[in-house]
Amino acid sequence: MNNVTVEDKKYLEKTRKAIEKLLSEKTIRAEDGLDQIHSISKYFWENKENMDAIETCQILRENENVANRTNEIIRDVRRLQKALSSPYFGRITFESDLDKKKRDLYIGTKAVIDGEDFYVLDWRSPVATMFFDSKLGDTSYVAPCGKVTGNLSARKQYKIVDGKIKRAIESGLYINDDQLQETLCEASSNKMKNIVSTIQEEQNDIIRDVNNKIIIVQGGAGSGKTAVGLHRLAFLLYQDEKATSQNMLIFSPNNMFSEYISNVLPSLGEDSVMDTTFSDFASSFIKDFDHLETFSELISNYYNGNLTKEEVRLNKFKFSDEYKKALDKYILRISNEVKFKDNLKVCGVTLSKDVLNRRLASYTDMSLQDKIDEVTRLICAACRLDYKKEKENIKKTVKRCIMPTVSSRRLYHEFLISDEFEEASGVRKGIRDNKTLSFPDSIGMLYMNFELFGYPKDNKVRHLIIDEVQDYSPLQLTMIKKIFSGASITALGDVNQTVNPYFKYDSLEELKKYFGKSKYVELNKAYRSTPEIMNYSSAFASDSPVSVRDEGSVPVKVKEVSREDLHNELVRDILEMKENGFERIAVITKTEKEAKAIYEGLKDDVEGLSVICDGDNPDEKDYSKVVVPSYVSKGLEFDAVISYNDEKSPYTEEDKCLYYIASTRAQHNLVVYNEPQKIKSKKANR
């Protein structure tokens, strides 16, 4: 029910005037700051030759401080500009037991404060928790000063667009379903949107959890797990005084996905955080190759049939526990074989190689890095050196003496032709050249290098998001956990959307083995797709989430389409979807080869059609009508989808995760060409 009152309109007008006042003040301050930066720079360059080192440092430091303050003011200006259009989305009426005063508290994406006047509270503030997960009546929230009790007498939700209230709804129990359903029915977009005005109770619990350092979230297709992870980052930026966008990191599945989520944090008033893929992360440590195979290239090569049976077998082995055992065995042997070949002279003191080697040999069942640390400590003591000051220099000297000129590439090559590898895999197959290192080999080489020579410690990152964690191997998770040991971690994934053909977790709860003490949470509601689409897709997944959408939607259409009729059927269905008001339409294929072939056949007849493959620049693509492989479409959403199953390379039972991904990209309308037979037979027996 729309309940826009006179009081609602008056408060909105009052708030907008306050925002305009703040905007005017901060705009002037920003302009003054820019002028000051210009003046300082001008003075510096005009007098640079006559300045001593101290004055130069003072000028540069002053300029930096002014620039930082000005940049923060400019960010405030941008936030206020956004707030002017839609200052808040909710209101609660709360009477605290402390003072028995009833207050109307307005909730928005960013606080609006002028002196002692609080016009809008940030959605992340402790008191705002009641808007998302408190029933009317006696309730409480946890403030910095402790638990605050009182009575929540009203909750109201607003939709404000361009400074005007379009809708106001009284809501007694959590977020009103009408608001949620209207949001869910909106057309999809090229960018992921924030969900701040419709956060559900189970999502809010994850976002605001400050008691668990590591949270593992199993969320089915369309459950909002990625959005929850990003909103959790925004919450932690608000809650943690030491946190900035520069010490938050996201591991994304690919660069396209990074672009897709890039608007969420800015729309919440925060700067974008650092993001990377595991391949890009690995490339910062592995420098001996022209190219490191990406994860998407790995799976693309598999599904496109670019690998021999032997290559497939070896890749599967390199994701197995047996591979890790072989690696660990080899690493231990190398650690035990290293020794000093000559006496060591440090600061005029000569240390016997025999004594040093006996010490090395005594450190049984110890990593090479730990052995080097112990020998370094011994050398510092013998030479009466300050261990804290000299340890890094001494460690470098020790490394040069016991393993001269041995590169990571050489060590890993020797592992691949070692007895340990052959016993476990049945082959000896080393690295042929420096052109391309496969994705599984890059994981193994990184692990070997870190286990032998020590893990780099990243103390800068305070919180880490791992998206699509179901595709990360145990070795990857082990390394990430050790490198970012000081960070809190939110791992998001869905075992039903595993695209790695070489291994699969039975449950994400298994990740506790690699993360240690952690909280496991499941999100079981689907917000993206209609009930019809989720009911159809559930046949291809275990424990698929249930759709909460209630709009009248069209049934899933399944039809047999021959290769001869494919072109005409695609053109007809795409045009029909367009006529029915669907803006973003995707044809999703199993492989990249199929996607490119369909695109070439359609591009002259479907205006604005694009093909999207891994490695493409997302900024250069028109997402309104696309052809995309299943494994690249993961995480994206479209108004309507045509899921195509080619009779020459059909989805099989082994590929059902890919098919589940493809069918759950659709928000409103799903058309299936040639339902996969092997999966369908299982569906029929359910």
pLDDT, mean of residues 424-439: 90
pLDDT, mean of residues 292-321: 92
State both tokens at 270.
Answer: 């925060």
Mean pLDDT of the chain: 88
- pLDDT tens readout for residues 612-631: 886 665 555 567 899 999 99
Euclidean distance between CA atoms 616 and 634, whole angstroms: 15
Give the gyration radius of the chain's Cα atoms: 29
Specify the DSSP class assigned to residue 173. Answer: B
pLDDT at 179: 57
- pLDDT tens readout for residues 534-554: 999 999 988 888 888 876 678
Nearest to 232 by CA among 208, 250, 265: 208
SS3 597: helix
pLDDT above 90 (res 96):
yes
Query: Which stretch of 75-89, 161-175, 361-375 has the lowest confidence by average pLDDT?
Result: 161-175
Task: Assign 16 a pLDDT band (cuts: 50, 70, 90).
Answer: very high
Angle at alpha carbon of residue 597, lines to 595 and 600, rounded to 5° = 110
Of all residues in the chain, what percent carry a pLDDT higher than 70?
A: 94
- Kind and range of the H or E run holding 666: strand 666-673
State both tokens at 252.
Answer: 């994304």
Nearest to 674 by CA among 565, 593, 553, 555: 565
pLDDT at 554: 82
Angle at alpha carbon of residue 532, lines to 531 and 533, rounded to 5° = 90
Euclidean distance between CA atoms 218 and 200, whole angstroms: 16
State both tokens at 573.
Answer: 């269905």
More confident residue, 249 or 190: 249
Task: Assign 129 a pLDDT band (cuts: 50, 70, 90).
Answer: very high
pLDDT at 648: 83
Euclidean distance between CA atoms 539 and 653, whole angstroms: 12
pLDDT at 684: 41
Residue 500: CB partners within 8 Å, gap ≥ 6? Answer: 295, 298, 299, 319, 471, 473
Handedness of CA 33, 35, 37, 39 (dihedral sign): negative
Specify the DSSP class assigned to residue 247. Answer: G
pLDDT above 70 (res 404):
no
pLDDT at 188: 59
Angstrom CA distances, 488 to 94, 232, 238, 462, 507, stand at 33, 11, 15, 6, 21
* Length of the chain (residues): 686
Residue 257: CB partners within 8 Å, gap ≥ 6? Answer: 467, 634, 635, 636
Q: Are 526 and 546 in contact (CB under 8 A)?
A: yes
Cα 184–chain centre separation: 22
pLDDT above 70 (res 99):
yes
* Beta strands at 488-493 and 546-547: parallel, antiparallel or unpaired: unpaired
Query: Which stretch of 199-213, 292-306, 395-409, 580-594 has the lowest confidence by average pLDDT?
Result: 395-409
Euclidean distance between CA atoms 343 and 341, whole angstroms: 7
CB-based burial, 391-406: b 16+ in 10 Å, e otherwise? beebbebbbebbbeee
More confident residue, 224 or 622: 224
More confident residue, 193 or 120: 120
pLDDT at 683: 47
Residue 47: CB partners within 8 Å, gap ≥ 6? Answer: none
Q: Are 318 and 440 in contact (CB under 8 A)?
A: yes
pLDDT at 53: 86
Q: List strands edge to edge, sheet with 585-589.
A: 557-559, 666-673, 638-644, 585-589, 625-629, 609-611
Strands (E) located in 257-348: 274-276, 291-292, 344-346
Of all residues in the chain, what percent carry a pLDDT higher than 90?
A: 57
pLDDT at 175: 54
pLDDT at 402: 86
Identity of residue 201: E
pLDDT, mean of residues 28-39: 93
CA atoms within 13 A on the CB side of 450: 20
Query: Which stretch of 86-90, 165-169, 516-520 has the lowest confidence by average pLDDT?
Result: 165-169
Specify the DSSP class assigned to residue 506. Answer: S
Residue 35: CB partners within 8 Å, gap ≥ 6? Answer: none
Count of Cβ atoms closer than 10 Å to residue 506 Cβ: 8
pLDDT at 97: 93
SS3 38: helix
Specify the DSSP class assigned to residue 539. Answer: G
